[in-house]
Amino acid sequence: MTKQTFTTPELSRRGFLKASAAAGTATLLSGLFPGGVWAAGSDAPEKKEIKVGFIPLTDCSSVVMAAAQKFDEKYGIKIVPSKEASWAAVRDKLVSGELDAAHVLYGLVYGVHLGIGGPKKDMAVLMTLNNNGQAITLSNQLKEKGVTDGASLKKVVAASPAGTYTFAQTFPTGTHAMWLNYWLAANGINPLQDVKSIVVPPPQMVANARVGNMHGYCVGEPWNQRAIVDGVGFTAVTTQDIWVDHPEKVLGTTGDWVTKNPNAARALTAAILDASRWIDASIANRRTTAETVAARSYVNTDMDVILGRMLGRYENGLGKTWDDANAMKFFNDGAVNFPYLSDGMWFLTQHRRWGLIDKDPDYLGVAKAINRIDIYKQAATAANVALPKSDMRSSKLIDGVVWDGKDPAKYAAGFKIKA
């Protein structure tokens, strides 16, 4: 598999012009270095006001803070965050053009591109917004049966008729469905046969668990911590325990939108990169972020419910507390944000594993079509963000299986529990 080598962006105008020419792209003005604005003419954003959808989750923070801290103004745009009710609504509004872009589930973008989980539409991933910071919550009803982790859940599920227990995720092709399925399967539970699966929008998870509509769920924060605070459930596993530094939400849009608005796409990505770096720069900035996104117009919950896990201060609702070195990351010197081809390919392998697609796609070809590394490289150069040496990366997941993108078809077929 061919790997592309990248280097740290040069700050000089000569270096940037050379890099831009090599990428076959329009040149950005040298006024961006440092802290300038976009030039009038060919480099100007085609759209000045960009409507970006989001779901009320902690990991919408970089989109919100790009607007709240006015990082967007530096690049000649105005980001207008738009609160949405569900991932299905985000999907539909992206496809229709009602939203320009969105904070969105990685797997949702890939599903739409392939025509699964909704209408078929060419899609684009401009950047990754965060790593880590999701979790699987189990209900107090399961706790009363002695369940505290995956192994004890397996015993309870095995002792009951198939389908006795119901688990919720947020979208069939999305990240939470894949984390839930992967964790259940790693513990010997077939998510397609042994339990029921339902879809519930993130902000409705706690209320549905409270009334007994499901026995567990996978979702982003703060809705796992909220379950603990409300006495509804406990955290069985964090997603960073399933896959350290896993990809999570992305900045997604349609392929048509990028084609029509390449400069705006670049400006939007650069502004959110600046916001991502700012959030991760200090505890004080993370606190300010938590205070901002907790507001009714964004996540609409108590600031403290967001802040603890945002700072890596975890409790599981069973008496354990710890400082998590792999809590939600928004920047990590740019390592979070690069749209690795292997990350996108991983979601395709899981879609294949669980029967969402009936044959192996061109894994690398699809990832190259969706993940707009060209736009990201230009934006990273404008924002002075380092680039990785490869567009692929390798990770070992909770079951000990290594994913590196080298043989995706073999990887997808290699799991004992699959569709």
Q: What are the structural domains of the chain?
A: 13-131+247-400 (3.40.190.10), 134-242 (3.40.190.10)
Give residue-wise pLDDT tens across range 49-104.
999 999 999 999 999 999 999 999 999 999 999 999 999 999 999 999 999 999 99
pLDDT score for 41: 52
> What phi and psi values does residue 141 have, to the nearest 5 degrees?
-60, -40
Amino acid at 140: N
State yes or no: pLDDT of 160 exceeds 90. yes
pLDDT score for 18: 38
pTM tops 0.85, yes or no: yes
C-alpha–C-alpha distance, residues 394 and 365, integer Å: 19
pLDDT score for 129: 99
Give residue-wise pLDDT tens across range 101-157.
999 999 999 999 999 978 899 999 999 999 999 999 999 999 999 999 999 999 999
Q: Are 64 and 17 in contact (CB under 8 A)?
A: no
Q: How would you write 68-135 as a 3-class SS string?
A: HCCHHHHCCCEEEEEECCCHHHHHHHHHHCCCCEEEEEHHHHHHHHHCCCCCCCCEEEEEECCECCEE
Give residue-wise pLDDT tens across range 335-386.
999 999 999 999 999 999 999 999 999 999 999 999 999 999 999 999 999 9
Nearest to 127 by CA among 351, 364, 379: 379
The mean pLDDT of 32-46, rounded to a whole number, is 58
Mean pLDDT of the chain: 92
Burial (CB count <10 Å: 0-12, 13-18, 19+), residue 3:
exposed
Q: Would you report the helix, strand and coil content of the chain in percent, each value rounded to 5?
A: 40, 15, 40
Q: Which positions ≥6 away from 414 have C-beta within 8 Å? A: 401
C-alpha–C-alpha distance, residues 126 and 44, integer Å: 18
